[in-house]
Amino acid sequence: MAEVKASLFCGVVAALLCSTALAFVEDLDETFKDTRVNDIWLVDFYAPWCGYCKKLEPIWFDVGAELKSSGSPVRVGKMDATAYSGMASEFGVRGYPTIKLLKGDLAFSYKGPRTKDDIVEFANRVAGPAVRALPSKQMFEHMMKRHDVLFVYVGADSPLKEKYNDVASELIVYTYFFSASEEALPESVSLSELPTVVVFKDGGHFTYDEYEDGSLSSWVNKERFQGYLQIDGFTLYELGETGKLVAIAVIHEKDPTEQSDRLKTLMQRVAKEYREHFNRDFQFGHMDGNDYINSLIMGEVAVPSVIILNTSNEQYFLPSEPIETMEQLVQFISGVLNGSAQAYGGDGFIQRIKRVAFDAKSTIMSVFRSSPLLGCFLFGLPLGVISLMCYGICTAESDDGSEDMDALKREGLTDEEEEEEEEERQRAAELEGPAEEEEDVGEKAPEEKKTD
């Protein structure tokens, strides 16, 4: 009896918790378009049949609960984009799930990892002001500890500040933007001129130069990552938006070797010591294992090794010999930069055909590895049906073909040739008739003899 009560109590608690979580996420319908204007909304556009949407659902309830409990002004909702496809199209929904923060007339798309902490951080960042003030050194130091990369406008009102505010409104989906007076900066930071935009990262600070760096938006987009990163598939996708080439040390991080550690150290040194030479064009980092790289280049990359990827056109570069020293690595990167290094891959027509074939092969192999019986059913049955259809078509064509040949022969004869052919058939029949009668007589003669 006690066990029954305990199980009932647990069930009631779970139901209450579930209903509480559901209360933090609102189901949206066609009225949302008219009622959303006065609030900030974080919306998940989903499809009921989408597996990724189902995987996101419990995380989405946690996001709603977290934002509600922290006092955030952001309201969390979800909308069936298949039921309200017109409204989803107005918000630019092209796939599922799509996460957007709606703030007034603006819609900000979330492109980060689908984890509770990352989504909550995105919502709080975008919901607030595009540029946040740092009024004191204590606040500045606090922000430096919280963020690996920090963009700060320093100085009074100016045309540069207007540009900075515009860039912040555009790129707030990726990073934070701050403003401060020169007095709020650490004493170790000295700036040659004001106003200016500074990025603090990698243990130092670097200022924006309009003549060397081009547009402020492009500079911020390239500088929003640390100089050296641990790279995975998602990070590589984000790096593609910077326009930089990505230099990667492919290593076994979980099972490190001396050569792996050496390549990783060399890449870190180049990123730091050769920043002035390569930072505008290259992003440096390492990747654990070669599975993802192999799928990108449709080949096999040794581990450990070095590869440089151009994500804009799917080209890649490999060193002609194993990298052992700092000089070899710098020479290889310089060769890629000046165009002397050989490029592989690309996005041409032949490469696209190879990509389709490679993806099809990878899908089939993954199905067979995970479930051989399912693979046989999915691919063996259709192949068997197609084979039977081909066999039937081929045999039908052969029979019809012989009849068609006879018809063509007859059509090609003149009237006199047809009469001659008919007479020949009659003569042949007459000759065959007596021969058959003689055979019958020959067969009956012995029996007649016996009766006699």
List residues with catalytic annotation.
Answer: 50, 53
Question: CA 186 to CA 137: how far, in whole Å?
Answer: 6
Q: Where are the beta strands (DSSP E) in 254-329?
A: 282-288, 305-310, 315-317
CB-side exposure of 263: number of CA atoms within 13 Å? 25
Contact 65, 24 (CB under 8 A): yes
Helix (H) or strand (E) holding 265, with range, is helix 258-273
* CB-count burial class (<10 Å; 0-12, 13-18, 19+) for 145: exposed
Separation of alpha carbons 436 and 430, rounded Å = 10
Strands (E), 222-365: 228-230, 245-251, 282-288, 305-310, 315-317, 344-345
Geometric angle at alpha carbon 150, from 146 and 151, rounded to 5°: 150
Instruction: List helix spans (H) across 76-181.
Output: 85-90, 116-127, 137-146, 159-171
In this structure, the chain runs to a length of 452
Residue that the structure tokens 């899908």 belong to:
363
Q: Give yes or no for a contact between 206 and 269, defined as CB atoms under 8 angstroms apart.
A: no
Burial class (CB in 10 A: 0-12, 13-18, 19+), 120: buried
Strand residues in 202-272 grouped as ranges (E): 204-207, 228-230, 245-251
Structure tokens at 296: 């990108």
Measure Cα distances from 424 to 167, 408, 409, 418 in Å.
Answer: 98, 20, 16, 10
